[in-house]
Structures are given as structure tokens and as C-alpha cells.
Amino acid sequence: MTEVRREVFGQMPQEEGGGVVEKFVLKSDTVKVEILSLGCIIAALETKDRDGKFSDVVLGFDTLEGYTRKHPFFGAVVGRVANRIAKGRFTVEGKEYQLFLNNGPNSLHGGARGFDKVLWSPQVLPNGVCFFRLSPDGEESYPGDLKVWVTYTLSGGELAINYRAQTSKTTPINLTNHAYFNLAGQGSQDVYDHEISIEADAYLPVDDTKIPTGEVAAVQGTGFDLRQPVELGKHLQKFHLDGFDHNFCLQQAQARRLAARARHPPTGRAMEVYTTQPGIQFYTGNNLDGSLKGKGAVVYPKHSAFCLETQNWPDAVNKPHFPSALLRPGEEYNHTTWLLFNAA
């Protein structure tokens, strides 16, 4: 059985439109997750180690104030389009759109005020919570009224995140959750002792602004071959990598399939990521720099967490040979990602 509780987390500042932010606590025997109505943020996720001890394994803040200030999308649902759009430009049905540039020359994670920075309308379910919002036509310069539902459900050790959307005009869409994980427990110094594997035969090389070049490159014989588990710290050293911030190309299938695994041998905690999405962005917290004070007043240095963001491929709206990122009127965007936690 999953227990669902709701409580007030805080009040949005007036300049952000005010409004009450609620926190929803989903609890099973093995996992406890806290989700905010602001940005559908996963604010905490506690899971057991092999000795049955619970630890919070996601980065974030103790108070609402942390989330209303600038932060690197901790735990949030990002959209309308997750990841980067080159030069913030795209053309749909002959019309060119220019987005806000918030990542060097590119647009990142929905723009200046994306889905992570707005209040969603919650509905409690027997085993979870469903959040809804209407992103109006022209919001952040995107076309069409977009109705979006994000549903979190917890069953035993498995957290499912379902994303649905419908639009009044053809629009690009790519939704993901940007949780930062450290299976040793949030506040641990790095993730070098984690073992990571990703079920991908190909990845997308990027230019120096992190936009895919268009090449779909084989992982074979490179530092991007994570098909067998690697110990992250040793692997980064071996291949002289500063970290990962790359899309890995998953099998093109609408069915649920394994995308990635992360394991922390010292505690026995493990996480498996299953998804219907065509890609997964593996990011090793390269831009964390110790400047943010997180939960329990700990700082988050570089490489102190990793993200496994299930998604469509970055800049797909400008790359015809990538899986299509367009949603048309009458169609429904519908993707699910499952995070399965266990300990051995």
C-alpha cells in the first residue's frame, strides 16, 4: 500500500504571483518521495540501503526559498522543451520562432520561466498525485495552448512518472524530470564510487555549446560505451573526461524498456531507469561548484550527483533525422519513466 499525504510547503513571493506551494508525500515500505506543486519538483526521495537504513538520495533544499532562487533545476519537471535548442530558433509549418536565450547562444529547459518555475494544480490519487497546467499560446514564445498532465505514482520500490500533453497548434515538446541523484545520500562529496551502465549503442557528440552536431556516433571503443557497468571515477580518469552531459540513444520503441542502471556498492543501493523515451541525458553535475547550500546546509560540489534524464534527443526540432519532437493538434504526447529502487 502507498500512503499519500499533502501539506503546505510555503507561499510563493508576490512578484512570482503568490500562491500556496503544497508538498505531497508518497510512502511505501521501501521508498518515501516528496513532491512539490511548484515545478512538480521531487524535493526528497528516501530509499533503503542493504541494512534497511533510509537516506535521502536527491539534491535539493529544505525550504521553498531555495527553490524560488536560481538553482540548476533540482528535481524539477522541465519544459516545454527539455535540454537545448540551438540559437533558440526553430521553424514549424513555415513560421520561425525565436526563444529566450538562457544558456550561452542557446535556449535551455523551456526558457526564462519554464515549467520548473510555475505552480501546477494537483489532484491526489490513491497511490500518487497528478499535476495539471495549461501553458498558454505564446508562453516563452512557444506556439499553441498546451495542456499538460504529470502524474507520479509509487508502488513498492517503483516510482512512475507519466507525462501527457495536448496542443491547439503544432509545437515542439520534450518533458523530463531533472532530479540529481547520489545513492550514497545527498550531501555526499562525489559519485565516483557509483557504478553506471546505459543501454545504448550510440550517443550524440556535441559542439562546444552542448548542441548535438547531428552525428549519431557508435559508443563502441569510446569512453561513451557504458553498456557494461563502469565505476564512474575510474572511468572518467581513464578516458580523461571532465564528466558527462550527453544524450544516449535508446532503442526506438514505444514500449517500456531498461535505459540505465546506477549502483552504489558501499550501501547496496541501486536504481534502474525504464522508459518509453528515445533518449537519456546522462549528466554528472559538472556545473555544481559548491556555491549552493542544500538540505541540512550541506554544499554540493562538482560531480556530487548525477542525472539520468529520459527525453527526446536534444535540438530534435532542428534535426530532421532525429526522432520528431513535434506534437500536433488531435495527437497526444504520452511518455512514462519508471525509477525502480532496491538494495542488495
Length of the chain in terms of residues written: 344
| End-to-end alpha carbon distance in the chain | 22
Cα–Cα dist 167/181, whole Å? 32
Which is the catalytic residue, given 235, 303, 309, 335?
A: 309
The answer to whether 225 and 199 have CB atoms below 8 angstroms apart is: no
Residue 25 bridge partners (DSSP): 5, 34
Binding residues for beta-D-galactose, by number, are 83-84, 178-180, 245
Q: How many CB atoms lie within 10 A of CB 77?
A: 30
The question of whether 178 is a catalytic residue gets the answer yes
Which is the catalytic residue, given 178, 194, 246, 264?
A: 178
Question: From residue 332, how far is each of 39, 163, 168, 327 by CA, in Å?
Answer: 21, 10, 11, 7
Binding residues, by number, are 83-84, 178-180, 245
Helical residues (DSSP H) of the chain, grouped into ranges:
64-68, 232-238
Rg (CA), the chain: 19
Question: From residue 240, how far is each of 113, 160, 214, 232, 257 by CA, in Å?
Answer: 36, 35, 23, 12, 31
The question of whether 331 is a catalytic residue gets the answer no
- Number of helices followed by number of strands (H, E) in the chain: 2, 27
Report, as residue numbers or ranges, the catalytic residues. 178, 309
